[in-house]
Amino acid sequence: MKRIFVLMLFYSLSSCAATKENNDLFESYTLYVNEIKRNKVNFVMSMLSINRANQIKKLDEKEFPVLSAFPVVLLKIESYYQKIENNKGCLTVNGYGIKNKPIVLSIKYLHENKKWGVDFVEIYYADSTKEFKKKGICPS
């Protein structure tokens, strides 16, 4: 088992099963992934929490290649779950990466200025799909 923790300050960025009525965080994640693929740096920066975006700006956006890495590790999404409490949300995305390796993304969001911003990300390379999560879990 390998764990990779991604904290924007140093390396990079930021319960119920999601349904069509309750998928704000997954929609935000999907938008983020699509904009990364389109190389929309300024738009992606606006999708981060205020604190994380300010930290990246202080780094003069030299860390953006790392920022763009976390959403594209998953080549196929199997399932996702989210948990929202007040202005904090947690999205867990189960899926597969290169060579069909099971991966679990845990993303912490903060609700600021009427939108969800990525605040912290944890990427977990699982040994098997038995380690897939069945609820929204915040990164450690």
Give the tens place of pLDDT for each residue, 53-81. 877 777 765 555 545 667 778 899 999 99
* Residue reference for tokens 């949300």: 89
Instruction: Of 10-14, 29-33, 94-98, 101-105, give the lowest mean pLDDT range.
Output: 10-14
Residue 127 one-letter amino acid: D
Q: 67, 82 in Cβ contact below 8 A?
A: no
Give me 83's structure tokens.
């948990």
HSE of 5, CA atoms in CB hemisphere, 13 A: 6
- Give the separation between CA 18 and CA 105, rounded to whole angstroms: 15
Domains of the chain, start order: 2-131 (3.10.450)
Cβ of 106: how many Cβ atoms within 10 Å?
Answer: 20
Give me 111's structure tokens.
């609700």
pTM (predicted TM-score) = 0.73
Instruction: Of 20-29, 41-50, 62-71, 129-138, give the lowest mean pLDDT range.
Output: 62-71
Instruction: Of 55-59, 77-81, 86-90, 103-107, give the lowest mean pLDDT range.
Output: 55-59
Residue 8 neighbours by CB under 8 Å, 6+ apart: 14, 48, 52, 55, 56, 63, 67, 119, 120, 121
C-alpha to C-alpha distances, 61 to 65, 76, 135, nearest whole angstrom: 9, 28, 33
- Give the separation between CA 132 and CA 80, rounded to whole angstroms: 10
